[in-house]
Amino acid sequence: MQYLSMTLLITAVAAIAPPAAATTDTVGTTVAVDEVLVTATRRPAASSRISSALTLIETPALRHGKLVTDALADSPGVFLQQTTPGQGAAIIRGLKGSAILHLVDGMRLNNAIFRSAPTQYLALVPTTAVERIEILRGTPASLYGSDAVGGAVQLVSRVPRFDAPNVEFAGNLVTGIDTADRERSVRATLDAGNRRLAASLGFEFLETGDRRIGGGETLEVAGYESRALRLALAGTPDEDRSWLFDVHHLEQASTPRIDELVPGFGQIEPASSEFVFAPNRRSFVHGRYSHKAGPLDLDWDLGLAWQRIEDDRVNRDFEANVRRLERNRSDLVGLNVSGTRTAGSGSWIAGAELYFDRVASTRLEEDLADGRTSPITSRFPNGSEVVQLAFYTNVEQPIGRRHRLNAGLRWSYVDVHLASTPMSDAASVLARDLSGDIGWIVDVGDRMQFVVNAGAGFRAPNVFDLGTLGNRPGNRFNLPNTRLDSERALQLDAGLRYRGRRAGVDLTLFALDYRDRITTVSTGETTAEGRNVVRSENGAESRIYGAELDADLDIADGLSANLVLNYTWGEQRDEGGPAEPADRIPPLTGRLGFDVKPGVDLRLRAWLSFAARQNRLSARDIGDPRIDPRGTAGRVAAGLELSWDVADGWWLDVGVDNVLDKAYREHGSGVDAVGRNLSLRLGTTW
């Protein structure tokens, strides 16, 4: 009945909506009609043939942030959470962490130690490597399988290209500073090649200091450094074949965890005297080969990748005389092969994936009095392994003149082997799942589309869910549990797209039924340091509903406006308990922006970013030191930015964020937002 009500509501909106048209906004909006995308179908497709709710963030928006994740803020359907200044985590439709699939060029970034809470790993992708970000909201169960419950975030790499037969050169250099984080940054790329062979070298350096938050207070433990390199080599032997060899490396040498070092809500003292990620590091090697009209007359894509994520930590409970030194590493190897065929105005894809992930984890205790160290039980069972195998297919086909269907199925096999530890025996957890989705597009006239999507997906438990031992955020201590099953999700969304000459409206309503959720359950015990002892259980069921609106309007020549509104409502029920608000659900958020072009060389952007009060809190939210137990206050922040094409190939961006110097914290974040912030970026492209 709730799903039917949602569909009827969208139909009513469609009947009264004004004429509109999509425009491309590089800050992050729903894509234009003729944009070609890959995430929603795993093959190139025009956005008008995609039923899924999809957001595109293009290259110009990436140049404004410190991290690649900064571009996700204020996007349709996305809420950006930060626990440290060097991290940014997307919350999509109320879900986060391992319930969102993160991809780089079709290869999984999610690994065996991904948390079900916000993670820092997406911020470890170099900005210079990324051409665009595609955000798929929903449950793309047939194409992506485990973890793609709330959606998928894919970073599409920038491929060096030249059209000339002779060797040419191109590049760019961007340097930036700001006042709130005391940013000092440099990014540079250099490309060289011709139409057959091209190479790209990228470099990034970022340093920040103490953070000035709204009202003038300074956080003196917020500074960090980041360094990155990227090397890519691309070949095009002929019109039908291409290949790419790509290497990324990014390291944050010592990033503080602010919520552990600063007293939170309900705390007189901080949870830790020391807590730094030292280092957080990601290395990525990817090879990709594409062959159009290859064997069996299919368009073939083959990808092979290796990713290492190192999540090392140094931490010490508040005023304790023992320091813990952690080394946590995931080595993920993935193989993906797919074949596509276009038949008339439809297409289909079939493919297979194989991933192998091995976890290395050690932990030492250091006595501060005498400097001696001794090994203790590691955070994760050292030597644990995960094997994932999947076969999938997806078909997209028109039916008549105004209808288009797409549907797919996927069979997944996930085998998690946990190594033995002093606290637990070796164990294996096996998951076999059949998942699928279906989408329907109806062309209502030449400018309007009505779309409906349904997906039945799952998330298999990983090493983090099954085997984590030790401190967790929110003043908790986690015990392992090897008796977990897969989570199950059923999601339905329906949307309206209206396109016209001067305006565009995209409205999506969604409903998500999420069962057997792995949730943290208190054991009723506490550690000697006062942390609550918890463990994971398949003990929760959530129902999440929401609406996502993206509207663009060309008011006049040189003047346009954009409005984004996101609303999410969630309820959960732990096994045997009463219903309560779901964990970490974002409030109503939005952004109203204006874009003025007074001249060919000038562009002025002004915006209001806002969030309503969120006082629908779960018991876990109330006990989380990052969240005010009375509820997170609403906020409005204003910003301005002037972009000036100074000379041929040179540009200058001058911006002021949080103009009114408001003090606020995004709901669920562990660090306060920056106060009034003056930023300057100077760049050149040749």
Identify whether the C-beta of residue 360 lies closer than 8 Å to the C-beta of residue 383.
yes
Rounded CA Rg of the chain:
24
Q: Between β-strands 100-104 and 107-108, what pairing exists: parallel, antiparallel or unpaired?
A: antiparallel
The label of the residue with tokens 């930036």 reads 176
Number of residues in the chain: 686
Through-space distance between the first and last CA atoms of the chain, rounded to whole angstroms? 58
DSSP 3-state assignment of 367? Answer: strand
Q: Which domains does the chain have, with CATH numbers?
A: 2-685 (2.40.170.20)
Identify whether the C-beta of residue 541 lies closer than 8 Å to the C-beta of residue 573.
yes
pLDDT of residue 347: 92
The DSSP string of 371-383 is --EEEE--SS-TT
Residue type, 346: G
Cβ contacts of 589 within 8 Å, gap of 6 or more: 74, 79, 565, 566, 609, 610, 611, 612
The DSSP string of 456-524 is EEEE---HHHHH--EEETTTEEEEP------EEEEEEEEEEEEE-SSEEEEEEEEEEEEEEEEEEEEEE
- Residue among 148, 152, 154 nearest 412 (CA): 148
DSSP structure class, residue 164:
S
pLDDT of residue 21: 37
pLDDT of residue 46: 84
Identify whether the C-beta of residue 137 lies closer than 8 Å to the C-beta of residue 151.
yes
pLDDT of residue 29: 53
Cβ contacts of 240 within 8 Å, gap of 6 or more: 291, 292, 293, 294
- What is the C-alpha to C-alpha distance for residues 569 and 586, in angstroms, rounded to an integer? 8
- Residue among 37, 276, 16 nearest 133 (CA): 37
The label of the residue with tokens 């957001």 reads 55
Mean pLDDT, 10 residues at a time, the chain of 686 residues? 36 34 44 67 86 87 86 91 90 94 95 90 95 92 92 94 95 96 96 97 96 92 95 96 97 94 93 94 97 95 97 94 96 97 90 98 95 92 96 94 94 95 85 95 93 95 87 77 91 94 95 91 82 85 96 94 97 87 95 93 95 95 93 96 92 96 94 95 94
- What is the C-alpha to C-alpha distance for residues 301 and 167, in angstroms, rounded to an integer? 27
